Amino acid sequence: MSLASVIRSEQKLLLPTYDRHKILFERGRGVYLWDSRGRRYLDFLSGIGVNALGHGHLVIQATLKRQAGRLIHTSNLFFHEYQAELAARLTRLSGLDRAFFCNSGTEAWEGALKLARSHARVQNSNGHKPKWRILALDNSFHGRTFGSLATTGQAKYRDPFAPLLPGVSFVKFDDCDDLKRQFDASVCAVCLETIQGEGGVRPVSPEFLELARKLTKSGGALLILDEIQCGLGRTGRYFAYQHYGITPDVVTVAKPLAAGLPLGAILTTNHVATALHPGMHGTTFGGGPLACAVAIQFLRLMEKLIPHVRATGKYFHAQLEELKATHGCIREVRGMGLMLGMELDSADSAKSVVNQLMQRGILINRTNEKVLRFLPPYIIEQKHIDQLIRELDAVLSASSTAHPQFQKSKVRSQR
């Protein structure tokens, strides 16, 4: 099927939810993807943080083949051999005690919000009014279902679907005073992304996260972290909160967990888990044998990759900072490990850079209008980073020739 005929059919048959780039991908291997015209692309986006092992990983292929031949689905009415093993690995890595498996990021986040409310009820079973308010952050993103939208601090996602879940208030990003002002005895949970992804790759500050931990602990509320994008090795540690030296009460993960198959998880403590009993939460597909068997392999492979993510992330960050010294249109470089963002001076520049890189065979995307987002597979190497930096340098230089006010005096050395 040609790109043109796929576009025509989709326009007629699908809900108009996506504004896709006009590329039809047909296959992938390692850090590369090939489109229907045979063009090769270097993947610095990994399906928005999902393909952490790149494409066509042989161990994942073998696991998929083996498990697909044995058992794909059972429902959660019965046991299979992989959920407990996967939970054991995730709890060991996170410092938490228990897991619930689901199918996507937003579903994990919905479950975490339900935990917050049910935990508050259990804590107040002596007849006092349960805590009910949820504090979330401005500029956050937690998904597209109603609870996730209600805690997403960006009007463009929320407004078309109002009214949303009641009881949610938004705290200014990283503003300790605002958090102190809004936190009171009615709050059942403080919920945030350790590093905002869709919000423009913004790590929360240690002061803010420590304050959120302190207030929730002393106030009998939960600290719930969304690590759907930044978790599972992306920052060079298994969980981004491990850079901060705190442990949340609940953390949600998803994107890379099953190496491209849909799988999400809620991880929490034994104490919080007492707020649920059979029938209160569940899913038909979540945590099936195929996805869980693959996720176990993903975590096994991660053990070797974590130091590599840390080293390549550090190198990549330094290279982006060097570009910043050369190009006046770069406002800031942010992020940790292989979750990096580069804020440009305008949304138009960012859009144009993404398109030009795509024409040069490199995939990245733009988030929060002005921010170039880099989420490469964990297997990315220094030579691929050098290639991206060379191309980015060329694209930014071309646009600063068109807009000389952004050119800095220093001329970047030839790579």
Ligand X SMILES: Cc1ncc(COP(=O)(O)O)c(C=O)c1O
Residue 230 to residues 116, 204, 243, 337, Cα–Cα distance (Å): 21, 12, 12, 9
**Which residue in the set 51, 63, 106, 139 belongs to the binding site for ligand X (CB under 6 A)?**
106
**Which residue in the set 43, 110, 193, 393 belongs to the binding site for ligand X (CB under 6 A)?**
193
Residue 214 to residues 102, 108, 211, 247, 378, Cα–Cα distance (Å): 29, 24, 5, 11, 33
CA 111 to chain centre: 17
Residue 43 binding ligand X, by CB under 6 A: no
Smallest distance, Å, CB 249 to ligand X?
Answer: 17
Which is closer to ligand X, CB of 258 or CB of 273?
258
In DSSP terms, 330 is beta-bridged to: 344
Window 129 to 188, contacts with ligand X (CB under 6 A): 141-143
DSSP string, 108-130: HHHHHHHHHHHHHHHHTTTSSPP
**Which residue in the set 93, 254, 354, 395 belongs to the binding site for ligand X (CB under 6 A)?**
254
> Taking contact as CB under 6 A, which single stretch among the options 84-92, 178-186, 191-199, 319-327 is the one that binds ligand X?
191-199
H-only helix segments in 176-205: 176-182
Shortest-Cβ-distance residue relative to ligand X: 105
Local structure of 95: helix, strand or coil: coil
> Taking contact as CB under 6 A, which single stretch among the options 31-39, 224-232, 235-243, 313-321 is the one that binds ligand X?
224-232
In which element (H, E) is residue 99 found?
strand 98-102
**Which residue in the set 168, 224, 228, 379 belongs to the binding site for ligand X (CB under 6 A)?**
228
Residue 391 binding ligand X, by CB under 6 A: no
Per-residue interface string for the shown chain with ligand X, residues 66-105, x marking contact by CB under 6 A: --------------------------------------xx
**Which residue in the set 46, 83, 216, 229 belongs to the binding site for ligand X (CB under 6 A)?**
229
In which element (H, E) is residue 155 found?
helix 155-158
Q: Is 378 exposed, middle or buried (0-12, 13-18, 19+ CB in 10 A)?
A: buried
Residue 374 binding ligand X, by CB under 6 A: no
Point out which residues bind ligand X (CB under 6 A): 48, 104-106, 109, 141-143, 193, 197-198, 226, 228-229, 254
